[in-house]
Amino acid sequence: HMAARDRRFAPLIERHGAPPLERTSNTFASLGRAIIYQQLSGSAAGTIHRRFVGLFGGRFPTPTALAAARPEALRSVGVSAAKASYLQDLAARFADGSVAPRRFAKMTDDEIAAALTAVKGIGPWSVHMFLMFGLNRPDVLPVGDLGIRKGMMRYFRLRALPAPTRMETLAAPWRPYRSVASWYMWRVLE
């Protein structure tokens, strides 16, 4: 589909193959990972995530276990005080049922975004990453992601980073597979 809509995708597809988009089996872990990865480089976030998981025996904790964790323990592995509070708010919302992943399959992207942005520390970027990589939703365009903005700037040979409205216009032909196209925009930078 992508190569048929835009022939410039063919070399990207040939070089990088298909995107590794798989539905998550652990919604809580996927959202927690998105919080940990916010505003960090991939390598720094990966290190903190590994240390965080190490605190809980090598597996992402359950909401109950995370809610019971001391913030100082989370900070000792590199989780900022703000992110520790965000993670614990997420755990509390899973525990009280205000975030109910069983309902996500019947919800639109916008409905899921509304439910998740009620959690402290989860904003549009985290929601977009979760929709793409946690729920494998096919038509997500994370207009706030710097890597995608840079990828689109290079791909379309723009002189400056595109604004969100410009990104939406440029990506319109990619519908209904903007998640896939976004993954390739990250590859453009490699």
Q: Are 178 and 5 in contact (CB under 8 A)?
A: no
Distance CA 161, CA 148 (A): 10
> Token match 């995107």: residue?
19
The question of whether 145 is a catalytic residue gets the answer yes
Q: Which two tokens stand for residue 108?
A: 């639109």
Report the C-alpha dihedral over residues 131, 136, 139, 140, rounded to 10 degrees: 30
- Kindly state the greatest CA–CA separation across the chain: 52
30-54 as b/e, with b when 16 or more CB fall inside 10 Å?
bbbbbbbbbebeeeebeebbeebbe
Q: Are 23 and 36 in contact (CB under 8 A)?
A: no
Provide the annotated active-site residues.
145
